[in-house]
Every structure is written in C-alpha cells, then in structure tokens.
Chains A and B, each alone.
Chain A
C-alpha cells in the first residue's frame, strides 16, 4: 500500500543521501589528467568537502572508479579486472576526453572510449578537464547516486 512504499522511498532517499556524501574513490590514474585529478583533490579545489576526499587504493574497498587518463589496449584488461574486483554498488567516472572517446589519439594503441569495456556513469570531458568541471561531474554523480533505487 501507499504507506509501505512511503517508508521504502524515504529509506532509499536516506541511503542515497548517505552514499552520495561518502564516496570512496579508486583513482585509476594513468596520464596527464592525473595532474588535474591531483589538483582537484588537493587543498585549492578541495574534493574533500564533497565527502569524496579519501581515495581507497584497493578496488575491494572503493565504490567509485575514477578512470583518469588514457587507457591503452595494453592496459584495458587490467582496467576490466579492477572493475570486476569492485563490489556493488559501484559507479564509474570517465575523467578526461581520452576515457570518454579516445581523445585525439585515434591510433593503434588507444582504446576509443572506456565505455567499450566497462559501463560508465558520468563523463567528464576536457583535455584535461579543469577542476571546476571535475567538481561539476562529481556533483552530477552525487545526484545520480542519490536518486537511484538503493539495493542493499
């Protein structure tokens, strides 16, 4: 009845609120975007104020996979393995144009977008994206986390 779904939807919102403000990221940093990732994570453009300031360097302990920087075909199986090792619920952020579409590296070595290998939730374009774009992307990810039906 209406009353039951009211409670579950309020519970969903509460869990969504809790999850979106406690993001444990796994920064899969490969290339130049890593410098902007570092800039976004450090004191000037602080990402800690969004609750996302603790990078977990193990996929088992993380829930958001930030793929930062170009993925080459040699690295792609490693990325897939890391993604598979993460436990649900997990989200993926494609940081930088190389992960969104391959960037301007249309050649034999680069994966043309990581969404050919793993599902992506938020795309942050830019080469490299300014930290303001990163924060915008993070906020969109938070909206996405908050509104989805939470499974637990």
Chain B
C-alpha cells in the first residue's frame, strides 16, 4: 500500500513491522521515532493525515502468544481528508517503562485522548500539559482497563463499601 511504502521509505528501521490485515494499513513504529513519524504523516503532502481520529491503547498481557512481550500498545488512527486514506500507527511499550511522547503539539485533541489512555491504562505521556484522569475521579486507585483489574472492584466515594 502506498502509505506504508512511503513510511518505510522515509523512516527506514524505525518502522518495526507492518501489516494490512483486513485492508487496514498498520505500521508499528519505534517509540523514539514516534513524534517524527506523526509529524511526517501530518505534513508530508502525499500523506496529509490532517485528522487524528483516535488515540487509544491495548493491554497485551493476556494475549495468547504475546504475554511476555511489551505490555502496552498505544494505537493512533489517522485519516486524511485530502487523499481519503487511513493508517494505523502503533507503539509498543513495556510495563515498567510505559512512557510515550505526547502528540499534543501536533493535534490539540490528543490532550484529552491521552488523558483517557492515562486514566484507563496508566501509560504516561511526557510533555503533556495536564495529565490527569479524564473519565474517573481522582480518588480512584488503579487503571481499570488493564487486564489485571477485576471488573467489579468498586471504589465508592459515598455509600456502602462493596
């Protein structure tokens, strides 16, 4: 696919692997080259990914075959209005080093999306202006979308402690 070819050409070894499962162009990028990649995707005229559609993460600690690999994968979905193409970029980080550079400088919406990833997974974003919880309250302890957080461990603020 043209997008993946262009990324491989410009970034070289920073692109760890690519695939096109079910037609979605996906590239796994090394963390150090992430900001450069995102800038390239946004500014290069042939790519022109003006819109950061989604920024999310996934916890691979219970995925069959990947339990020992890097725990978190931060996923960026980009879309280009000019060329009408999409790409998915992924960055893999370990649990004890779960820090990813923040994309807030490139797209202002990354501010809230990264806050949500911090809230749900505990992946920190360096240089984020305001990294606090988005969907849960500050007194909440833990990161619920991690696989080791049981779904009904409640932490009520008022009322009976269940």
Contact = CB atoms under 8 A, between A and B. Distances in A.
Q: Do chains A and B touch in the complex (CB under 8 A)?
A: yes
Interface of A: 73-74, 76-77, 80, 106-109, 111-112, 116-117
B157 A106 contact: no
Interface string B151-162: 111111111101
Given A74-B137, A76-B156, A108-B153, 8 more contacts: A73-B154, A74-B157, A76-B159, A106-B152, A108-B151, A108-B154, A112-B154, A116-B159
The 6 closest A-B pairs by CB, nearest first: A116-B159, A74-B137, A117-B159, A107-B151, A73-B156, A77-B158
B152 A108 contact: yes
26 contacts: A73-B137, A73-B154, A73-B155, A73-B156, A74-B136, A74-B137, A74-B157, A76-B156, A76-B157, A76-B158, A77-B157, A106-B151, A106-B152, A107-B151, A107-B152, A108-B149, A108-B152, A108-B153, A108-B154, A109-B136, A111-B159, A112-B154, A116-B159, A116-B160, A117-B158, A117-B159
- Give the size range of B's interface with the partner: 10 to 19
B144 interface: yes
Interface string B73-103: 0000000000000000000000000000000
Interface in B112-162: 136-137, 144, 149, 151-160, 162
A111 B159 CA distance: 9
Q: Is the interface of B mostly helix, strand, loop or mixed?
A: loop
